[in-house]
Structure 1
Amino acid sequence: MDRRANTSTNREERIHNLMAHVPYLRRYALALTGDPDLGDGFVTRILDDAMTADDFIRLENPRLALYAALNELADTMALRPAPSPRPVEAALAALPEDARRLYLLVSLEDLPLHDAAAVLGLPVETAVERLNDARRQVRERLTATILIVEDDAIIAFDLAETVRGMGHMVCGTAPTMDEALTLAAAHTPTLALLDIRLAEGDNGIEVARELRRRRFLPVIFVTAFPDELAKRGLEHLGPVIPKPFTRDQIEQAITRAVFTPAESGGPAAVSPAA
């Protein structure tokens, strides 16, 4: 086989190796742009360039070069992802762009930190600082502040321990409607866990209605009377967990509430913790 044939074979092998990175590139491009069509267009453009540039194809680790090329293409368009109602995406979008990309490369693409730093042209020491700060900011933005409205002290304590065990904050517990509304006004919680039958004859359904009237606030009913909402045609107020409950049920319901996009027209379901 002459040199030209051998060079052609090597080139085909390298192009084949480039194509093996496409699933990863599409995933990163989607996170980078926030738009699947635009992301795929980015991937197509950089692969076209990579397949015609010998110096690109000869790189020992083309995946890192491809990530860098995606970033460069995004920079030429001054691209930032569109606002998202999804809390995780919104938290990432609040980061400086280089920190957002670093977070994505390490947490989404599973690159070692030194490789992610190389893609972004950052010293490793700088990348360590920025990644730690990005993780802190994301964690804070995804920390829910939860109000517990429950007149049974033991159950209220159990709910509070479950909430704190998940890494969220408890802004207070209230056995009555007045106390619940006072705490909500003082701490602006992002989620409320509500019993239906409260002390002094109060009703958690009325608490939920008042909280929604004042501002959108997701609620989860934790009650020994799980049919009461359905009887009144008020299932839209929030999901119901019947007593007795398990911690797994509470944790799953909280996770769904925290990571579900806010209702249209309402503020985000999760905001920075107070």
Structure 2
Amino acid sequence: MSTSLSQDIAPLLPYLRRYARALAGSQKSGDAYVRACLQALVSDQSIIDTDGGIKIGLYRLFHVLWNATVVPAAEADGTSSIFEQTAQHRLSTMAPESRQTLLLSTLEGFTIPETARIIDRNEDEVGQLIKDAIAEIDRQTKTEVLIIEDEPLISMDLTQIVESQGHSVTQVARTASEAIAAAKTKTPGLVLADIQLADGSSGIDAVKEILSNMTVPVIFITSFPERLLTGERPEPTFLITKPFNPNTVKAGISQALFFSGSDAVAA
């Protein structure tokens, strides 16, 4: 491999390993696929197509070799967190191409045109594969959702979004005290929380109290993201800014539940 190509690829390898591990189900198997990809590239660097950029070319090459190469699957090596193990179990039940497409478009952040180029499909096909993958996630992760939101129209929108994905709403809480009481009465499988609530109380405080008694994924949906993105405290994994696109909320719910280590609560 030429020095310049090697230098271009080196910073991309941690991301390719991340993708490969998610796809293969373990660090050992994923790294074996990446090594196979690099060995092929060392033998003949003309096999990489860089017309769409070096990153897309590298993932495209990996995709070709993934479909053509059999690397023995590894047993769990004890290095994955419960969240990673849960995600791997759910990924393993998906059709292979839906799994690849979902990971490329979410975990790796490729656009639909970029993903289409990587897996050699057209954009409509990629869009359908993503929809199929999200539908499968929704089927696996149906749960009961606690909504903490004081604006009636917004809470109605969120309820409709939640129910359209096959989940159910345990309660819509307008204040921190209502939210805490609701969670104690009925353990939710997911919490959607605003920050500024009806009586001046804080959705952040409500979530903190809820999480002190249970483990549950939380998505903050707020007009004030800067209040959470301060760098002064552990920051939320899932944060959606108002006004929101319903599809963004749907994707956030799917991802939060997909990587949740706790069992979903039956709807």
TM-score, normalised by the number of residues in structure 2:
0.53
1:68 to 60, 64, 76: 60
Alignment partner, residue 102 of structure 1: 101
| Residue pairs, 1:63-212, within 5 angstroms | 63-75=55-67, 76-77=69-70, 86=83, 87-145=86-144, 164=159, 167=162, 169-170=168-169, 193-195=183-185
Provide the rounded CA distance (Å) in 2 between the counterparts of 1:138 and 1:23. 26
Q: Is the 8 A contact 1:117 1:127 kept in 2?
A: yes
Provide the rounded CA distance (Å) in 2 between the counterparts of 1:73 and 1:130. 20
State yes or no: 1:53 paired with 2:44.
yes
SS at match of 1:49: helix
Q: Is the 8 A contact 2:29 2:72 kept in 1?
A: no
* Cα-to-partner distance string for 1:135-190 (whole Å, 9 max, x where unaligned): 2332454442259xxxxxxxxxx9xx6995994523589xxxxxxxxxxxxxxxxx
Provide the rounded CA distance (Å) in 2 between the counterparts of 1:80 and 1:164. 41
How far does residue 82 in structure 1 lie from its aligned partner after superposition?
Answer: 7.5
State yes or no: 1:24 paired with 2:15.
yes
Alignment partner, residue 216 of structure 2: 257
Provide the rounded CA distance (Å) in 2 between the counterparts of 1:247 and 1:257. 15
Provide the rounded CA distance (Å) in 1 between the counterparts of 2:171 and 2:74. 36
Structure 1 residues 251 and 96, CA gap change in structure 2 (3 angstroms)? farther
How far does residue 70 in structure 1 lie from its aligned partner after superposition?
Answer: 2.9
Aligned length: 186
State yes or no: 1:248 paired with 2:204.
yes
SS at match of 2:121: coil
Root-mean-square deviation (Å): 4.2
Structure 1 residues 90 and 250, CA gap change in structure 2 (3 angstroms)? farther
Structure 1 residues 105 and 35, CA gap change in structure 2 (3 angstroms)? same
Provide the rounded CA distance (Å) in 1 between the counterparts of 2:63 and 2:48. 18
How far does residue 115 in structure 1 lie from its aligned partner after superposition?
Answer: 1.5
Provide the rounded CA distance (Å) in 2 between the counterparts of 1:89 and 1:145. 22
Q: Is the 8 A contact 1:113 1:128 kept in 2?
A: yes
More helix per residue: 1
How far does residue 29 in structure 1 lie from its aligned partner after superposition?
Answer: 0.9
Structure 1 residues 139 and 82, CA gap change in structure 2 (3 angstroms)? farther
Q: Is the 8 A contact 2:144 2:188 kept in 1?
A: no
How far does residue 16 in structure 1 lie from its aligned partner after superposition?
Answer: 1.7
Q: Is the 8 A contact 2:105 2:112 kept in 1?
A: yes
How far does residue 58 in structure 1 lie from its aligned partner after superposition?
Answer: 6.2
Structure 1 residues 71 and 28, CA gap change in structure 2 (3 angstroms)? same
Provide the rounded CA distance (Å) in 1 between the counterparts of 2:106 and 2:16. 14
Provide the rounded CA distance (Å) in 2 between the counterparts of 1:114 and 1:71. 15
SS at match of 1:170: strand
Provide the rounded CA distance (Å) in 2 between the counterparts of 1:85 and 1:66. 30
SS at match of 2:9: helix
SS at match of 2:261: coil
Alignment partner, residue 37 of structure 1: 28
Amino acid at match of 1:77: V
How far does residue 107 in structure 1 lie from its aligned partner after superposition?
Answer: 0.7
TM-score, normalised by the number of residues in structure 1:
0.52
- Say which one has the larger Rg: 1
Provide the rounded CA distance (Å) in 2 between the counterparts of 1:116 and 1:92. 18
Identify which range, 248-257 or 103-112, moves more after superposition. 248-257
